[in-house]
């Protein structure tokens, strides 16, 4: 059997319900909506869906909202 590489393997996906089982954080501090792929102990790619309703935008730079990168 050959070892799988990043190019020819299925991505490891983690949905938000499973993320919530792993992390104690909840809205508005749960800043991960979906893990799109990872290699355990090495790297992780994830999605955070950002909308204008995020608490950080309330009264923050009217007309020019900025979402700080993490």
Q: Which residues are catalytic?
A: 60
Say how many C-beta atoms besides its own lie within 10 A of residue 64's C-beta: 6
Sign of CA dihedral 34, 36, 40, 43: negative
């Amino acid at each position: 059997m050959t070892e799988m590489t990043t190019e020819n393997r299925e991505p490891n996906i983690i949905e938000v319900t499973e993320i919530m089982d792993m992390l104690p954080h909840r809205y508005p501090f749960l800043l991960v909506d979906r893990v799109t792929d990872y290699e355990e102990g090495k790297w992780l790619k994830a999605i955070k869906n950002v909308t204008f309703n995020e608490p950080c935008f309330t009264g923050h730079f009217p007309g020019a909202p900025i979402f700080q990168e993490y």
